[in-house]
Amino acid sequence: AQTVTQSQPEMSVQEAETVTLSCTYDTSESDYYLFWYKQPPSRQMILVIRQEAYKQQNATENRFSVNFQKAAKSFSLKISDSQLGDAAMYFCAYEGAQKLVFGQGTRLTINP
């Protein structure tokens, strides 16, 4: 069964600095998708970034980028120039052939 692990329950960073959130996953599939979602207090799920497993190039979206290491089954999220609006819960997610699985989440605090 596929599993997703986020080993950092909480992280904090100074505004304008860079922070990296960790995610590892376990799967026997070769074709899959990985996602990072942001969840503010409203509980809305907001897509941050997406990575296709068959692509070697790391995905980037403005200040957000990932470090995708397929062999190590690692998928970390880097947030550059952190802003107060980045404060939220962040979830790593894996989608394989049929199932979509989430990690436990990391609560990110931005210190002004």
Partner 1 sequence: NAGVTQTPKFQVLKTGQSMTLQCAQDMNHNSMYWYRQDPGMGLRLIYYSASEGTTDKGEVPNGYNVSRLNKREFSLRLESAAPSQTSVYFCASTRMGSSGNTIYFGEGSWLTVV
**Residues that bind partner 1 in the complex, under the rule CB under 8 A:** 6, 33, 35, 43-45, 47, 50, 52, 91, 93, 95, 98-105, 107
Q: Which is nearer to partner 1, 52 or 61 (CB)?
A: 52
Q: Check if the beta carbon of residue 43 is closer than 8 Å to that of residue 56.
A: no
Q: 106 near 6, Cβ under 8 Å?
A: yes
Least separation in angstroms between CB 93 and partner 1: 7
Copy the structure tokens of residue 103.
Answer: 């990690």
Give the position of tokens 């962040």: 90
Which residue, 93 or 110, is less far from partner 1 as judged by CB?
93
| Nearest distance from C-beta of residue 96 to partner 1, angstroms | 10
Contact between 109 and 8 (Cβ < 8 Å): no
**Which phi-psi region, left, alpha or beta, contains residue 105 (left: φ > 0; alpha: ψ -120 to 50)?**
left
| Residue number, 14 or 104, with CB nearest to partner 1 | 104
| Least CB distance to partner 1 at residue 89 (A) | 8
Q: Nearer to partner 1 by C-beta: 16 or 47? A: 47
